[in-house]
Amino acid sequence: MLDYLISLFTEPDKSWSFVSIPFAVVFVLFFILYIFIRPSSKTMMLSYTVAFSLFFAYKANGVLMLLLPATVVVSYYLTRRMDEREGRERTLWMWLTVVVDLLPLVYYKYTNFLLQTFNEILSSNFAPLSIILPVGISFYTFQAISYTVDVYKGRFTTEVSLLEYFFYLTFFPLLIAGPITRAETLIPQIKHRYHIDDRMVYTGLWLIMSGLVKKALIADYIAQYNNWIFDDPTAYSGFECLMGSLGYTLQIYCDFSGYSDISIGIASMLGITLKENFNYPYQSLNLQEFWRRWHISLSTWFRDYVYIPLGGNRKGEWRTYLNNFVTMLVAGLWHGASWMFVIWGALHGIVLVIHKWCKPWLDRIPNTWYVRVVSFTLTFAFINVAWIFFRAHDMQTAFAMLRTIGSDFSFDYLVPFVETRTSWVVFVVLGFALHGMRKRHVDRLKQLYIDSPYTLKLILLFIVLQFVINFRQSDIQPFIYAQF
């Protein structure tokens, strides 16, 4: 027991995440002390949380966690130096800070991708380097860049202490996979230290339970079958491949929105309000609406720091199309060092451009129920096909899966499939049914939970945990977006 406790606090752990039992144990201990420290001193509260956040980063990354405090210090002081300059010199300092912030991300995430690309183009034989991607580096790098650019644009101030900036960039609920949070959202809250009321705590618990159902119950359970399909789609029928693609479409949503729910829920329990990151994206009637609902913190980041600086829609119609397409290419590449992610981004970019080009004609179509059904069906079908390219190992696998669906599809497989994989079907139906609920109905359920007796809250929490334990896989599935 003593050896386990020592290793729990001293050794890195690849399975360390919000859905692991070790994290739950350590977080409860942290939270008990936090509720006593928070009212007494802002400095103590910030220092205590930063220390726990760095411990959290160490558990996830080992010694690579040193990149995080290094990024904090370098970004903080370079931004302050930039803010002391004017004119052209200020712009140069802004770009210097952004480039310095990006260097570790480019090295760790894209070095081997660039070497592989050079090998293919030049027929060379550069050996790949032994590089481990630090967990969360894409997210805290983007937060650092947003702070620098916002200060440069005058949207935020440098009247932020180093300790406050440490809190902003290391806040542990955001470290693994965001949401990418702007300084204007987080820093004013830690300056004023709003009182943590019961509603914030119960809202946090509701979101954590919602996230556990999505991630640890639905996404992790259906992932095993999805992985089999994408590993070798030619070994299965077209119907089974279609189920695998639909399963992954649900899996990636439940996995990432589940993480976001847990992240926002933990922050709420700590007295921090974070913005919504998913808003029922698969209910969208077009791709533009999808990107207003999916991974909202990332899509707004690319809008504000890539699309608008490129010119947005201010430089003519064709330049607007180009800016849309380039932004989606960059968004695809951000997801990972692979041409499959670039292709996924390009597919979204092309369809977004087509939709924008056709919008004057589309707006003339009456908004009837059957038009909405057709719009939803086309949008969801495209998103599902695009996820195939996102998930597949290579183009051969993606096209093999599409060919199998197109050439070997039959509903004769439906009954045997349901009989063989009943639990998988139940979880997929449950996942899409939960996603299909109206937001007002979900908000009503949340309010009923908040207003319910304390004993009922404990019973519901126990039920959720029991289901997670009963249906969880033997190996904890890492969060999909943790690799990005």
Neighbours of 447 (CB within 10 A): 14
Q: For residue 29, give both structure tokens.
A: 């201990």
Task: Give the integer Cα–Cα distance in Å for 428 and 419.
Answer: 14
How far from chain centre, in Å, is Cα 317? 31
* Cα distances (Å, whole numbers) of residue 106 to 71, 114, 143: 14, 10, 16
Closest residue by Cα to residue 348 from 276, 264, 285, 291: 291
Is 335 labeled as catalytic in the residue annotation?
yes
> What backbone phi and psi angles, to 5 degrees, belong to 233?
-65, -25
Of the residues 295, 335, 393, 441, only one is catalytic, namely 335
**DSSP string covering 266-322:** HHHHTT---------GGG-SSHHHHHHHSSHHHHHHHIIIIITTTTTTSS-HHHHHH
Q: For residue 465, give both structure tokens.
A: 């945990």
Please give the single-letter amino acid code of residue 288: Q
Please list, in sequence order, all residues whose beta carbon lies within 8 angstroms of the beta carbon of residue 263, skipping any fewer than 6 positions away.
Answer: 18, 173, 174, 176, 177, 178, 179, 211, 274
Q: Which amino acids are annotated catalytic?
A: 335
